Chains A and B, each alone.
Chain A
């Protein structure tokens, strides 16, 4: 232990470095090229109407809003549940919560959407709930792992010096678990971005409104445009998540 600790390291890793601009620049180039291509390509009237700049922009915004709401919901539910599982008094809920998380992810999402559409109805919230259940597991698991991996000696010292259980949770365990919880949140984000289009039939909005009509109408250019925007969105959101992860990670463990 001491031999490792013997070397003096100076953490100088910054939250933001110029290299981080590579991904957004790449996305910008790809989107610009695609939009330029669409403006030049010989499209028929239906296709041209499907991929106007205004539509793409509107559906992208919808997509972002749905994804954001989903991730807020996932964090609000999965982090507290993960914390409860790691508390001795409430550890008994573990099998139930993990079963829920596993089923949520394992259930065939298209079937789930159909059932919810019939039973609950259509619109924004049914889709948000389904996709949230679907992308719950990474955050849940990473919260549990993130808290459990905190060094036992650190917790022992914290208890021994008279920190309360709540003080230890908020002052020690959660801050030290941040990088791992955030990694789970990034996975959930990307999952959500990719799965939201499947809810198009429930009229929740998003870029699925370009992709699915394009499939039905067999318009390849529009399909590629919609798919490309989803991929770019996933990349950008994961990039933002990465920045947030670094910013939220306490300096001493960065």
Chain B
């Protein structure tokens, strides 16, 4: 994901979408939130207050923020599960408020943390739901279901006729993703889709979903409270404060290297430099000859992140690790080279931002995010 552009759309600007020609090849369509506000009757403050967000086609945009900041509400207004109080939401230039809400939702994939598979229907019937709603013929639907189960890594022969309760949590969410993709929507809304599975399964699902997205190039709005997930999954991250105030809308690299304000710094948390290493691949470092590799150390593929490299060095107690490309050892990476690369990255970031490095900023108060969580644990997010 690190090759994504680092364009920044500051709060308040509503750049016009560059439109359909890009969308056609990108698979996704642009989404524009223009002054969108949601105020529930009888509440003083708006759950979402005048949000402006410009989402480029084919991008994964992460809405990240503490509980109760309005990120889920913001997402749910895009497919009108929640009706905005005011403002416009444009999908591919068309105002969604002018469309029939039920038909609109059939063109938007929807994946939620609770998964919500229909327990009384087979996996096949679950995935076929939206194609059936939009009136695909049986043959087309059947072949689409088979294709999609394969895409999400479930053998159709084994799983098509099972019921949801016969699947593990991870398998169920694979079906959830397949079901959302069934009618080939240009847009996907995902609300903490991998939040309820164990960490190992989550990592696996994230990686596979990223692989899938590289091919599909859908426009994806992805809600999470987990900043690490945002860094990993996002082309762009919108860090949201109370009332969906956009504290910063930028690429993961930019948010990690130059957080816009105290709130973002607090949300990024400690170890921004370490997280930054997750975005940098090993192939950005010039390798030492393979012969310098210490014997008996497990090599790493060159697609690994610098974070993986550092992790392996610490785990193995080695300051040099052999690197493989397509299974062949092609060189060695050393701790010194790694540190040099980190210095380079910091210099680049400083040059770009023209500010001090994040490490010299005041650190976040311990427990900042937790406090926000507790204070804002109620409210609009759970409305339906």
The residues of A with any CB-CB pair to B shorter than 8 Å are 1-3, 5-6, 8-11, 151-164, 167, 172, 175-176, 250-253
Q: Which of B81, B103, B168 contacts A2 (CB 8 A)?
A: B168
A-B contacts, 19 listed (Cβ < 8 Å): A1-B169, A2-B168, A5-B167, A5-B169, A151-B114, A151-B116, A153-B114, A153-B116, A154-B114, A157-B117, A160-B108, A161-B130, A161-B180, A162-B104, A162-B105, A172-B120, A250-B120, A251-B163, A252-B163
On chain B, the residues within 8 Å of A9 by CB distance are 165-166
On chain B, the residues within 8 Å of A8 by CB distance are 166-168
C-alpha spacing A67/B96, complex, angstroms: 53
On chain A, the residues within 8 Å of B180 by CB distance are 161
On chain B, the residues within 8 Å of A10 by CB distance are 166
On chain A, the residues within 8 Å of B104 by CB distance are 162
- Which of B196-204, B210-218, B243-251, B334-342 binds A? B196-204
Q: Which of B103, B107, B117, B384 contacts A159 (CB 8 A)?
A: B384
C-alpha spacing A250/B179, complex, angstroms: 20
Q: Which of B121, B168, B189 contacts A252 (CB 8 A)?
A: B121
On chain B, the residues within 8 Å of A151 by CB distance are 114, 116, 119
The residues of B with any CB-CB pair to A shorter than 8 Å are 79, 81, 102-108, 110, 112-122, 129-130, 133, 163-170, 172, 176, 179-180, 189, 196-198, 201, 384
C-alpha spacing A176/B164, complex, angstroms: 14
Contact between chains at B163 and A11 (CB < 8 Å): yes
Shortest distance from the beta carbon of A176 to any chain B beta carbon, whole Å: 6
Most chain B beta carbons < 10 A, residue from A155, A164, A167: A164
Q: Which of B133, B165, B169, B172 contacts A163 (CB 8 A)?
A: B133
Shortest distance from the beta carbon of A208 to any chain B beta carbon, whole Å: 41
**Residues of A contacting B: mostly:** helix
C-alpha spacing A96/B328, complex, angstroms: 77
Contact between chains at B133 and A6 (CB < 8 Å): no
Contact between chains at B168 and A6 (CB < 8 Å): yes
Assuming the contacts A2-B168, A252-B163, asked whether A172 and B118 have C-beta atoms less than 8 A apart, the reply is yes
C-alpha spacing A11/B163, complex, angstroms: 9
C-alpha spacing A184/B102, complex, angstroms: 33
Q: Which of B110, B164, B172, B196 contacts A161 (CB 8 A)?
A: B110
Assuming the contacts A2-B196, A176-B119, A176-B120, asked whether A156 and B165 have C-beta atoms less than 8 A apart, the reply is no
C-alpha spacing A160/B179, complex, angstroms: 12
Contact between chains at B112 and A162 (CB < 8 Å): no
Assuming the contacts A2-B201, A6-B169, A151-B116, asked whether A159 and B105 have C-beta atoms less than 8 A apart, the reply is yes
Residue of A nearest to B109 (CB): A161
Shortest distance from the beta carbon of B272 to any chain A beta carbon, whole Å: 30
Shortest distance from the beta carbon of A149 to any chain B beta carbon, whole Å: 12
Contact between chains at A161 and B179 (CB < 8 Å): yes
On chain B, the residues within 8 Å of A161 by CB distance are 105-106, 110, 129-130, 133, 179-180
Contact between chains at A2 and B119 (CB < 8 Å): no
Contact between chains at B164 and A2 (CB < 8 Å): no
Additional A-B contact list (17), CB under 8 Å, known A161-B106, A176-B120: A1-B196, A5-B165, A9-B165, A151-B116, A154-B119, A155-B384, A157-B110, A157-B114, A158-B118, A160-B108, A160-B112, A160-B189, A161-B105, A161-B130, A163-B133, A172-B120, A176-B119
On chain B, the residues within 8 Å of A2 by CB distance are 168-170, 196-198, 201
Q: Which of A156, A162, A251 contacts B120 (CB 8 A)?
A: A251
Contact between chains at B103 and A162 (CB < 8 Å): yes
Shortest distance from the beta carbon of A10 to any chain B beta carbon, whole Å: 6
The 3 A-B residue pairs with the shortest CB-CB distance, nearest first, are A153-B114, A157-B116, A2-B169
On chain B, the residues within 8 Å of A160 by CB distance are 79, 81, 105, 108, 110, 112, 189
On chain B, the residues within 8 Å of A158 by CB distance are 116, 118
Contact between chains at B81 and A252 (CB < 8 Å): no
Residue of A nearest to B182 (CB): A161
Residue of A nearest to B104 (CB): A162
Shortest distance from the beta carbon of B69 to any chain A beta carbon, whole Å: 20
Contact between chains at A253 and B120 (CB < 8 Å): yes
Residue of A nearest to B173 (CB): A2
On chain B, the residues within 8 Å of A253 by CB distance are 119-120, 163, 165
Shortest distance from the beta carbon of A154 to any chain B beta carbon, whole Å: 5
Shortest distance from the beta carbon of B136 to any chain A beta carbon, whole Å: 13
Shortest distance from the beta carbon of A89 to any chain B beta carbon, whole Å: 15
Assuming the contacts A1-B196, A2-B201, A252-B119, asked whether A162 and B168 have C-beta atoms less than 8 A apart, the reply is no
C-alpha spacing A152/B81, complex, angstroms: 14
Residue of B nearest to A165 (CB): B102
Contact between chains at B114 and A162 (CB < 8 Å): no
Contact between chains at B117 and A154 (CB < 8 Å): yes
On chain B, the residues within 8 Å of A172 by CB distance are 118, 120
Residue of B nearest to A8 (CB): B166
On chain B, the residues within 8 Å of A167 by CB distance are 133
On chain B, the residues within 8 Å of A159 by CB distance are 81, 105, 384
Most chain A beta carbons < 10 A, residue from B120, B169, B172, B198: B120
Residue of A nearest to B79 (CB): A160
On chain B, the residues within 8 Å of A157 by CB distance are 110, 112, 114-118, 176
C-alpha spacing A172/B167, complex, angstroms: 20
Shortest distance from the beta carbon of B135 to any chain A beta carbon, whole Å: 12
Shortest distance from the beta carbon of B189 to any chain A beta carbon, whole Å: 7
Contact between chains at B102 and A162 (CB < 8 Å): yes
Shortest distance from the beta carbon of B172 to any chain A beta carbon, whole Å: 6
